[in-house]
């Protein structure tokens, strides 16, 4: 039996370059014969993901708590796949995870961090969470927000402060204010360390 894959999560506010960097990392690893795949949450392709997508594009309205549980259920429906892939040696580069789930929902009125974290307990814990950090002055120069729910500055500010509250030793803050290629090189070298350190360690689960 070979080694398990590493579970690496990317988090951060909109426009920090998460998706671009996740995909570049997967390509670079595959070129180096390290098996890796991209995953993203919400995964809008599943039955639950379709409801989430309708909510984000404002086609439907849902109570805050209900939609929070759908985002979480979207991770739980993929949990067996995550476990199988990691066990078979595939590293997963995940674009948003439970931390986005909590940081976004808890930015709403009447939603607290603890309540929001509860349904995440028991999901596979990442080997590392890379938070791509961008100062607001810089992110606002990267073009306007889209039309989806949550794409407004005030809300994103609350999300950012929630991310800070969720910080654990697994987190690594990465300054995203650099060229795409420089950021990629930094992430690649960070990955190498995480990959080495995760060898032989069983996957843990998210705890209270
Ligand atoms: P993308 O723009 O990355 O598709 O995200 N979100 C995400 C939540 O509110 N809860 C979650 O659990 C997750 C994973 C963040 C779409 C939006 O969905 C938010 C932005």
Mutate to test the pocket of ligand 1, among 20, 39, 73, 100 (most ligand atoms within 8 A of CB): 100
Domains detected in the chain: 7-206 (3.40.50.300)
Query: What is the spatial distance between Cα 79 and Cα 54, in angstroms, rounded to a whole number?
Result: 23
Shortest-distance Cα residue to atom 8 of ligand 1: 101
The Å distance, Cα 90 to ligand 1 centre, comes to: 24
pLDDT on residue 193: 98
pLDDT on residue 74: 98
Q: List the strands of the sheet with 128-133, edge to edge.
A: 36-40, 91-95, 7-11, 128-133, 171-175
DSSP alpha helix (H) spans, the chain: 18-31, 47-56, 64-87, 98-105, 113-117, 136-140, 153-166, 180-198
pLDDT on residue 42: 98
In tens digits, the chain (208 residues) has pLDDT values of 799 999 999 998 778 899 999 999 999 999 999 999 999 999 999 999 999 999 999 999 999 999 999 999 999 999 999 999 999 999 999 999 999 999 999 999 999 999 999 999 999 999 999 999 988 888 878 877 888 999 888 999 999 999 999 989 999 999 999 999 999 999 999 999 999 999 999 999 999 9
Shortest-distance Cα residue to atom 12 of ligand 1: 101
pLDDT on residue 68: 98
pLDDT on residue 65: 98
Going by their DSSP bridges, the two strands 7-11 and 171-175 should be labelled as unpaired
Mutate to test the pocket of ligand 1, among 104, 119, 145, 148 (most ligand atoms within 8 A of CB): 104
The Å distance, Cα 185 to ligand 1 centre, comes to: 26
pLDDT on residue 153: 87
Query: What is the spatial distance between Cα 120 and Cα 94, in angstroms, rounded to a whole number?
Result: 15
**Phi and psi dihedrals of 96, rounded to 5?**
75, 145
């Amino acid at each position: 039996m070979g080694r398990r894959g590493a579970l690496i999560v990317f988090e951060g506010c909109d426009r920090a370059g998460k998706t671009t960097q996740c995909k570049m990392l997967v390509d670079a690893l595959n070129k180096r014969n390290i098996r890796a795949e991209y995953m993203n949450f919400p995964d809008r392709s599943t039955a639950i993901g379709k409801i989430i997508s309708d909510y984000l594009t404002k086609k439907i309205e849902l109570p805050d708590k209900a939609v929070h549980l759908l985002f979480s259920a979207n991770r739980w429906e993929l949990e067996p796949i995550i476990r199988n892939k990691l066990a078979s040696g595939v590293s997963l580069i995940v674009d948003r995870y439970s931390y986005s789930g909590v940081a976004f929902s808890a930015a709403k009125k009447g939603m607290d961090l603890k309540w929001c974290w509860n349904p995440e307990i028991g999901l596979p814990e990442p080997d590392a969470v890379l938070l791509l950090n961008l100062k607001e002055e810089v992110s606002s120069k990267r073009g306007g927000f889209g039309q989806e729910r949550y794409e407004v500055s005030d809300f994103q500010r609350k999300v950012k402060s929630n991310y800070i509250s969720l910080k654990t030793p697994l987190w690594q803050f990465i300054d995203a204010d650099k060229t795409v290629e420089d950021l990629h090189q930094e992430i690649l070298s960070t990955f190498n360390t995480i990959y080495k350190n995760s060898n032989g360690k069983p996957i843990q689960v998210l705890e209270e």
